[in-house]
Structures are given as structure tokens and as C-alpha cells.
Amino acid sequence: MVAGTLVAAAGTYQIAGLLLDREHRGLNVSATLAEPAHFSSLESGLLVLCLVGSATLFFRRFGPILRNILRSKKDADFSLSPVGRRVWEFFSEVLCQSKVIRQRPLPGLAHAFVFWGFLAFALVSLNHLANGVGLGFLAPESIVGRFYFLFAAAWALLVAVSIAGLFIRRFFVRPIWLGEKLSYESGWIAFLIFLLMVSYLGAFFVSDAGMAVKALWWTHTLALVVFLPLIPHTKHLHLVISPVTVFLKRDGFSKIPPLAGDEDFGLVAGKDVTQLISLQAYSCVECGRCTEHCPAANTGKVLNPKEIVLGVRSYLNEFGPSSETPLLAESRGAAPTDAHQRLLSMEAAFECTTCGSCEYQCPVGIQHVPIIVGLRRGATNTGAWEDDYGTKLFLALEKHGNALGLGAMERDKFIQKQAFPIFDGTQEYCLWLGCMGGYDPKGREIIADFARVMQYLGTTFGVLKKEKCTGDPARRLGNDLVFQTLAESGLKAFETAKVQKIVAICPHCVRTIANDWREFGVAPEIEHHSEFMARHKDRLPKQGGESIVYHDPCYLGRYQDVYEEPRAVVALAGSLVEAPRSHERSFCCGAGGGLAFLGEEQGERVSHVRAKELAGTGAEVVGTACPFCNTMFRDALTAVSEAPPQLLDIAQLTARAIPASQKEAGGVQ
Amino acid sequence: MKIVVAIKQVPERDAQVRVAADGKWIDESDLSYTINEPDAYALEEALQLKEKSGAGEVVVVCAGPERVQSTLREALAKGADRAIHIEADDLGSLDTLGVAQLLADAVKAESPDLILTGLQSDDLGLGQTGVVLAELLDIPHATIIMHVEATSAGLKVKRELEDGWFQYVEMPLPALLTIQSGGNKLRYATLMGIKKARTKELKTVAAPAQVRAAAVTLERVYLPEKQKKTEMLTGSPTEVAAKIVDKLKFEARVI
């Protein structure tokens, strides 16, 4: 005990002695940054040489990249407006790092500290290099200097800790999203950043004179000189271009640009790659957030959205932006002749459900869905995509105007049986049936129940006499001919019937009519039945406490930002349970992008993964708001669960509480 | 190989067909039209033969009013090289021989190696036009063809017989084949195809003034009449059974 106290006392004495002796020993812990007192002309010359060399190496790589971007085809539909939104997103996503942090809080925050640290360091680095040629402008002793260098020191500390954390994450925790192969270049970059910070902080511990300060100064300088050319050679290119990418990204979520001119069939070859796509491809930082959330990549399919982006980049590097070489390889061969063929394949492009989680997650402004749909357009519009199911779907749409390939008579019979009034301009709403509502047995139940809800509320509605598919599956599978034909015929039908307001049960229909049809004309105002019912929730019956887990459809949530309305409807029908992945992180049912109509999936079924998750919540009911999700889960829930929860659309959840007298007698079929 | 495909435009499958006021034809207003399904397969076969050989030309020919041009354009979009539209506004007043004569006049000038048509039309379903056309052109024909293979001597074709039987026939060229539905997989029309079709030739020829009166005339068009006739048989079970056998044998002729 006594001995311990003695040792501790001795230790204290020693530390005190060190501090007292600090000047004697040359260790100078001060609040002022030490700067080398003098640079010989040889040193200055050497510095200039290093900087010129570094800049040359930087531009030797950055130049060709910039040329590839600038020489890519112009984006015909690009417009800077709305500038306000662009400025806001730049502020939020770049300066505040909102997306980086929100979707991956811990590594996101670490990244944000490094980013903010870099910003704080810009002035420090400039002054640092200027010192080397005797042009330093920020004196460490001045008030501004004193304050700023300490401010930067605080950031240096945060950056050093953060980058060390990120290094540990990448090399020891090793999340699979970062790729199977360890990226050693990232290790080098992390090391250089760490070195930059340590060599800066070190200058607070030495005196202005002497070798130590010079050594630190040169270490810092060399780290800078090596760092610069590494930027364009690695994914750290995002440092330079991703702020521009975020600012310039196409307005609107998952927006598919119109084809420009008679020679544009989508992304067939390099010549079709637009400037925005090039810019986005070079911005990819390979963080793998897109992969992490991709339903295809998570169920053993070939598609990996990150590889699509890297494939475009690798194509541009190899062939350039005016090449005629096809972008898509037929399928991923064992030994592809070109590097990009390993990444871009027809097979992968047609496995996308267009759920948009990749695009939603991307922190550098890459818009994956337009790229993937663009590749599909290139394949479908030229007839290169040969798929029995796809052809069957397109022929059904050409011939029958509905995706299910049934005769229009079937819809007529259903309308008659339900005694739905035909829209004649006197009713408030045009009730859009859609392919599912008009032809699919389960979809018909949903439509019939929603019609009952409208009747209960006393809202007048009518259905169109003839209705064709909105063209959604053709649009997402890249068949512009079928899509345009259907869009034009749909717009005409609404115009002829003088429709003012539409309500639909299918988020795909709503999105396609409201957004995609704009290319060909102005559609009447359309809303999803969740929005309609949420608006009238005070007049809808409140039910008991059955637990209901709500599944966010991709085309309602991410595509249209409608999250709360369906929840309000579910909350009326029972107690709302959230799925492990919900809201903007909801996991796809597997039906989108026209995939509901294609053949069997490779690997695990997307619907099974999601159904397991929904059943796993223990909720008594699975609540859906999209007839496609509903149809996917109908089979999946029975397959994954022995006692599957009930599966009901929000319209059915509401209609079941409507007093029997309000219900119409008779079956749905 | 130069292939001519004779196609017909027919009302959509699910169209609600109404009889025209004069009872001589159907009311054409409000109807949407499409390619006759077996003709779509004939076109597909022609396109595949051309693609397989790597050379040749596919010419589509169709008789009818102006509206048939949309079907011809569609055929061009799917890959046909040229189209001929024979202007004929009153197809309903012609018999098979008359229609075949119109086609023969247009096709003769093309002197094709092979003529393909669907085995019958979805609307009238007579199944004769192809055969009569072959006769008028004086070339051999084969009907209900499932598969065509070009050989050095001409063609080897697979005919569908009844009850799951098939017949393989070798025949010289030029020839005419009537194609059965379902032998191939149809292709979808593409945007690129439609754009290319705009620059392809669509020639309109006038139908010659009617020379021959139709040998078969259409008297009346009517919707199939549903009728139900019930006859009660009386007597002892043995007698009734004997009567049933009698009726099945001689009236219904099913046993």
C-alpha cells in the first residue's frame, strides 16, 4: 500500500518534471502550431518539383476521365431547375452528409468527420504549402492563426480517430458490402490521411527551430503529394466529383428520361451513355449500400447494382463514350473478353425489380434505376432481349391491352357483375381498376372492397368502359413502343371521358400515370386509395386490436413518399406493427419492374425472404397496399409459414368493418 | 429466297361483333383490327427462313380497305422488307376465288420462290384462299404446316394430320404453304422495328375492276342462334333405351 503510493507519487513527480523540463528537452506542448523557420531555396525548389509532379500525375488520370464525361452524349431532358431543390440537396446531402449518416449512422458519422475535417483543413493545407515557398499567409501567432490552427487541430483529432475506425471496419470487421476483395488502396488512403493528421498534430509538440519541425513538415507535404494523384486513380475520385454529381442528378426519383431522336433506343452502346450517367459512374465510391439493400443481390442473383455502375465505368475506360461496342454481354461468361462484360450482362439487367432502394441509398447521387432501365431499353427496343415470358407479356399488352393476357370481355363481365357505374362525368372519381383489379381474382376482391368503402363514404365514382394497362411493366422492361402506345391510348381515354380525378389501388398504376405519362400529355390528378382513405379516416369505422404488420410497397414508399397514409388506415383496423425493414428501407416483394410476369427466379425467391420477415413479426395480419405485393405474398406466406398470417389489402382491412347492410350481396367473381 | 406472305386483317379476338344493318356483313364501326393469327405465324416462319439463310426478301401483301395498312406497317416493323396493299373496300362481297385472284395478280409480278399464308382466317375460317391462290399461280402447295426447312432441292415441311400424327413432305420450289398457328414463337414489335418500318416501301395497288361475278354469294350474316330442344321419351326402360340408341345412331349420329 505504502509502496504503491510511493510509486504513484514518484510517477507524478516525474510527469511534473517532464512538463517543467519541457523546453530543456525540446518538447514544446503549446497551443501554437510550430512552423519551420526557414526554407532553403533547394527545399523550395524540391517542393515545387513535388507539387508539379503530383499535379501532373493527377491530371494524367483525371483529364481522360473528365474528357469521357464531357464527350458523353448530352442529356436531352436535363434542366438545372429547380435550382432551389438542387441547392438544398447539396447542402443537406453533401455539406451536412445527411444521407451518409442517416442510412449508416456509425460509419456515416466517421465519414462525416473526415469530410468536415477536410473542409477545415483546406486553409491549413494551403498555408502549409505556401510556407514552403515563403508565402505563408496565416501566422500561427496571430489571433486568427491561433484560433484557426487549434480549431483545425480539434478536427484533426476527430479525423484521425474516425479514419482509424473506418480502417478497422474495412480491414477487421469487413462488412461484405464493401466487396469480397479487400481494397488495399483504401488502406493506403486511410494511412495517408492518418499521417496527414498526425504530422499536423505533431507540430503542436515541437518548437519552431530544429529538425523535428522540418521532418514533420516534410512528412505532411509528402503525404499530400502522394495523396493527390491517388484520388483520380481510385474510388476516392468521389472527393472531387461526387459533390457535382449530387448537385446535377436528374430531378425526380427513378426518372426514366425520354428517348431523344430516331436513333435513340436506350443504352445500347457507349454512344448512348449520357453525361449524367458517365458522371455518376465515375462517382461511385464502392460503399456497397446499393448492394446491401438490393433484393436481387440478397437472394443469390447475378445482379449487383454496384457492379452495374462499375461496369459502365469500366466500359467507358475501355471503349470511351462514342463506342459502338454493345454495353451488355449476353450472359456472364466464365472468361469474358472484356472487363465490363463481367459486370454488365443481359441476365443481370433483367433481374432488377426496380424497387429503387439502391438509388434511394446512394450517398453520391447515382441513379441506378434509369441506368438499369436504360440498359433494358437498349436490349428490348432493338429486339436483342429474347425471353419467352417477356415476349408473351409484350404480345399480351399489344393484343389485349392488359398484362394478364385475358380478353377485355373478362373485365366487362366483372364490371357488370359488380354493377360498377360507368364513368360519365357526373361522378366525382374515376375508379381505375388496373390489370390486377380488372382481371386478377384477388385484385378484384380488393377493388370490390374499396368500392364498398367509397359507397359507405358516399363518394360517387365510375369506372372507364374500356381500360388498358398503364404500360408500367413494358416501361420498366424497356419496351418503349408498347409503353408509348398504352400511355397515349390511356390519356385519350381519360380525355374522352372528361375525367378530373382518379383513384387507384395499385401504386404502379399511380406512379406510371402521374409521372411516366407526362412525356406524352397531361393526365388527370390521381391518388392511391391509401391517400383517399386516410383523408376520410374520421368517418371510417374503428376496429379492435388485431396486430397488423404493414408492408411498404416500393412504388408507394420510395417512389411516391407515401408512408403515413396507409399506416393511418392500418391503425384504424387494428394495432400497427412495423416490419424489421420498413419505410424507405422496405424490402421488395419481388414483383416490380415487370418481374411478376417473367419466369422463375434464380436463387431464393425475393417474396419468400420478405414473407419470412413479415410472418416473423408475429402479427396476425399482413397488410398490403399494392395488388402485386399481395399476389406475391399470397403464395410466399403459405410457403414460409405453417400457420401463415392473414393477408389483406388496406381496402379489405377497412371494408370488413363496414356494416353488412352497406355491403352488396354476391360474390366478387 | 424471296418469300411473299399473304396476310389478312381481322377484327380483334375479343371484339364484340355486331351484324350490319343490311344483314349482309358485320358493322365495322367501332371495331379494332389486328393481324389474322395464323398469318402472324406465316410471317414469323418467313422471317425465320430469311434469318436462317442470311439472305432473301420478305414481302407482305394484304387486300382490304385503307385500315389494313396498319397491319402491314406492323409486319414491316417485325422485319418484313416490303409491303403491298391491294386496295379493296368491299372484301365482303368477294368469294374466295375473287380474293385469291386479287392476291394472285399482285403476287405474280413478284415471282417469289415461296408464298406463305395462314391456314385459315379467324373471321371466316374458310381455309381455302391459300389453296386457290396456289392453283391460280399453278404452283404446288401443302397445307397445315408446322415446320419448314429449306433443302438443296426445295423444301421439307412438316404437316399436321389428325390425332397427333404428322406427315413430312419434300417439295420443289416455287411453292405455297399454309401455316398452322403455334409452330414458332412470335416476336414482339420493337421501337427500332417501327422506326425502320417508316422508311420501308409500302406500295398501294388498285384492285382491277370486278370481272367475274362471285360464284358464292353471301346471303345473310347472323349471330349463332342458341336453341334447346327437349323431347321426352316415354315407355318402359327397355323401350326408352332402345329409342335412345336409335336416336343416337340415326339422328345425332354419334354412335
Tens-digit pLDDT profile for residues A94-129: 999 999 999 899 999 999 999 999 999 999 999 999
- pLDDT tens by residue, chain B, 255 residues: 999 999 999 998 777 788 988 888 888 887 888 999 999 999 999 999 999 988 899 999 999 999 999 999 999 999 999 999 999 887 777 889 989 999 999 999 999 999 999 999 998 899 999 999 999 999 999 999 999 999 988 999 999 998 889 999 999 999 999 999 998 989 988 999 999 888 999 999 988 766 567 788 888 888 888 888 888 899 999 999 999 999 998 888 887
| Bridge partners, residue B3, by sequence | B58, B114
- Place A23 in a pLDDT band, splitting at 50, 70 and 90: very low
CA dihedral A351, A354, A356, A362 (to 10 degrees): 50
When CB atoms are compared, the residue of B34, B191, B194 closest to A399 is B34
Q: Do A381 and B14 touch (CB under 8 A)?
A: no
By the 8 A CB rule, do A97 and A108 touch? yes
Is there a single domain that holds both residue A206 and residue A296? no
Is there a single domain that holds both residue A242 and residue A256? no
C-alpha cell of residue A517:
405519362
SS3 A589: coil
Q: What is the mean pLDDT of residues A330-346?
A: 66
Start-to-end Cα distance in chain A: 90
Interface test with B, best of A272, A381, A412, A597 (most B CBs within 10 A): A381
| Bridge partners, residue A575, by sequence | A547
Q: Do B192 and A400 touch (CB under 8 A)?
A: no
When CB atoms are compared, the residue of A259, A388, A407 closest to B13 is A407
Residue A331 has pLDDT above 60, yes or no: no
Q: Is any Cβ of chain A less than 8 angstroms from the Cβ of B34?
A: yes
CA separation for the pair A341, A311 (Å, rounded): 7
Is there a single domain that holds both residue A359 and residue A447? no
Is there a single domain that holds both residue A262 and residue A241? no
| ipTM of this complex | 0.79
Residue A148 has pLDDT above 80, yes or no: yes
Is there a single domain that holds both residue A204 and residue A99? yes
- Place A334 in a pLDDT band, splitting at 50, 70 and 90: low
* Domain tally, chain B: 1
Omega within 30 of 0 (cis) for the link into B174 = yes
Q: Find the residue in B nearest to A483 (Cα).
A: B191
Q: Do A381 and B187 touch (CB under 8 A)?
A: no
Is there a single domain that holds both residue A203 and residue A122? yes
CA distance to A666, B230, B244, B251, B252, per residue, from B235 (Å): 44, 16, 12, 19, 21
Q: Do B13 and A482 touch (CB under 8 A)?
A: no
Boundary-marking domain end, from A197, A213, A246: A246
| Bridge partners, residue A548, by sequence | A576, A621
Residue B183 domain-assigned (yes or no): yes
CA separation for the pair A274, A321 (Å, rounded): 8
Residue A388 domain-assigned (yes or no): no
Residue B234 domain-assigned (yes or no): no
When CB atoms are compared, the residue of B185, B194, B195 closest to A388 is B185
CA separation for the pair A403, A438 (Å, rounded): 11
Interface test with B, best of A256, A268, A387, A395 (most B CBs within 10 A): A395
* Domain tally, chain A: 5
Q: Do B14 and A408 touch (CB under 8 A)?
A: yes
Start-to-end Cα distance in chain B: 50
Boundary-marking domain end, from A214, A246, A278: A246
Q: Which residue range forms the structural domain that includes residue B186?
A: 2-206
Q: Do B187 and A391 touch (CB under 8 A)?
A: yes
Encoded amino acid at B75, one letter:
A
C-alpha cell of residue A305:
447494382
SS3 A385: coil
Boundary-marking domain end, from A190, A218, A246: A246
C-alpha cell of residue A426:
357526373
Give B194's contacts in chain A (Cβ within 8 Å).
481
Q: Is any Cβ of chain A less than 8 angstroms from the Cβ of B126?
A: no
Size of interface A-B (CB pairs under 8 A): 47
Task: Count other Cβ atoms within 10 Å, centred on residue A387.
Answer: 17
Residue A385 domain-assigned (yes or no): no
Is there a single domain that holds both residue A99 and residue A238? yes
Which of A152, A164, A29 is CA-nearest to residue A107? Answer: A164
Residue A669 domain-assigned (yes or no): no
When CB atoms are compared, the residue of B16, B186, B195 closest to A395 is B186
By the 8 A CB rule, do A567 and A576 touch? yes
β-strand B9-11 against B33-35: which pairing, if any?
antiparallel
Q: Is any Cβ of chain A less than 8 angstroms from the Cβ of B194?
A: yes
- Place A516 in a pLDDT band, splitting at 50, 70 and 90: very high
Residue A132 has pLDDT above 80, yes or no: yes
- Residue that has been written with the C-alpha cell 530543456 in this structure: A24
Residue A68 domain-assigned (yes or no): yes
Give B190's contacts in chain A (Cβ within 8 Å).
380-383, 479, 481
Residue B231 domain-assigned (yes or no): no
Residue A389 domain-assigned (yes or no): no
Q: Do B186 and A391 touch (CB under 8 A)?
A: yes
C-alpha cell of residue A53:
509532379
What is the C-alpha R_g of chain A? 31
Three-class secondary structure assignment of A522-568: CCCEEEEHHHHHHHCHHHCCCCCCCEEEECCCCCCCCCCCCCHHHHH
Q: Which residue range forms the structural domain that includes residue A632?
A: 539-662
Q: In A395-445, where do the E strands start and end?
A: 429-432
Q: Do A409 and B14 touch (CB under 8 A)?
A: yes
CATH number of the structural domain spanning residue B175: 3.40.50.620
pLDDT in tens, A555-579: 999 999 999 999 999 999 999 999 9
Task: Count other Cβ atoms within 10 Å, centred on residue A659.
Answer: 8
* Cβ-based interface (< 8 Å): residues of A facing B: 259, 262, 265, 380-383, 388, 390-391, 394-395, 398-400, 407-409, 479-482
Residue A238 domain-assigned (yes or no): yes
Residue A389: CB partners within 8 Å, gap ≥ 6?
A: A597, A598, A599
Q: Is any Cβ of chain A less than 8 angstroms from the Cβ of B187?
A: yes
Nearest-neighbour CA in chain B from A447: distance (Å)? 23
- Place A338 in a pLDDT band, splitting at 50, 70 and 90: low
Is there a single domain that holds both residue A69 and residue A50? yes
Can you say whether residue A300 is alpha, beta or left, with left for phi > 0 and alpha for psi between -120 and 50 degrees? Answer: left
Is there a single domain that holds both residue A419 and residue A506? yes
Q: Is any Cβ of chain A less than 8 angstroms from the Cβ of B138?
A: no
Residue A254: CB partners within 8 Å, gap ≥ 6?
A: A354, A356, A359, A367, A369, A370, A558, A559
Which 8-state DSSP code applies to residue A13? H
Give B34's contacts in chain A (Cβ within 8 Å).
399
> In the prediction, which pLDDT does B223 show?
84
